Amino acid sequence: MVVYADKLIGTKAEHDAAPLNDHKVNDILFNKYDHRLCYITYSEDLDAHKYSRGDDHIETVIAATSGINSHNTPLTGGSFSETEVRSPKETFFIPWHQIVAFDEDKVVFKGNERQIEEPAECYSFQAIKDWTVIDQNNEKIGKIKDLVMDTENQQVMGFMLSEGFWKSLLGHDEKFMPIVGSPDWKTQEWRIENTPDVLLRNSPEEL
C-alpha cells in the first residue's frame, strides 16, 4: 500500500488498548542505510507547573526528549524567552512494527515498547521536509515535499519533489526520486551525486 508521510502527520496516534487520548503523529523516521520505516513519534505535555525559566535542567530535558541539537534535528535556539513559561514536551518513538492499522484519521499501535531517545540510525521526515535537492553540479533540482512509503513492506520508496525546473518546461507539479544521496545539515540541503534525468520519475509507481 502506497502512503504519503505528510498524510499521516497530525493524525491521531492511538494505542489499541487505550483509544481515548489526544496524541497526534508529529513525525516519521526512516533508516538512513536501508530506508526502512523505523518509527512514528508523538509528544506529551509535561506538567508546566513543575518548571520555570530558572530551572537549570529543563532545556536539557527538552533537548534529550525531542531530538534538539542531535544530528537529525539541529539546535534552533533557546527554548524559552525571559518572560515566557511553556509546557515542555516529551517525545515518544513508536516502532513501526507495532503499528496494526491506520487510515486518514488515526494510526493504531500495540504493545508497550516505546523510547524517548532519538534513534541515531534514522532520519526525521520533518527535519528534511522542504529541503532543496542539489546535484553534483550544485544545481537545484527541486524541494522535498513528501515521503512515498510502501507500508506493507515497511519501506520508503522515495521522495516527492516540487518546485523543480520541470514545472516551467513540462507543466508537471511534482516529480518522484528514489532515496539516494545524503543530507547536508549545515546548509539544510539534500545532495545527490547523480544527474537528475537519471533519477526523476513521473509517478510513484515508477520508483
* Per-position DSSP letters for 113-135, written without gaps between them: --BSS--TTEEEHHHHTTPEEE-
* Per-position DSSP letters for 136-189, written without gaps between them: TTS-EEEEEEEEEEETTTTEEEEEEEES-THHHHH--SEEEE-S-SEEETTTTE
pTM value > 0.75: yes
Asked if pLDDT for residue 160 goes beyond 70, the answer is yes
Across the chain, mean pLDDT equals: 81
Give residue-wise pLDDT tens across range 42-58: 998 876 445 444 444 43
* Per-position DSSP letters for 82-113, written without gaps between them: SS-----EEEEEEEGGGEEEE-SSEEEE-SS-
CB distance 163 to 143 below 8 Å = yes
pLDDT at 171: 56
Give residue-wise pLDDT tens across range 124-151: 999 999 999 999 999 999 999 999 999 9
Paired with 53 in beta bridges are none
Asked if pLDDT for residue 76 goes beyond 80, the answer is no
Asked if pLDDT for residue 79 goes beyond 60, the answer is no
Give residue-wise pLDDT tens across range 168-204: 555 567 899 999 999 999 999 999 998 778 898 989 9
State the average pLDDT over residues 159-173: 73
Domains of the chain: 8-125 (no CATH), 129-206 (2.30.30.240)
Cell of 66: 525531542
Q: Show Cβ contacts of residue 22 under 8 Å, excluding neighbours closer than 6 positions.
A: 12
Which 8-state DSSP code applies to residue 58? H
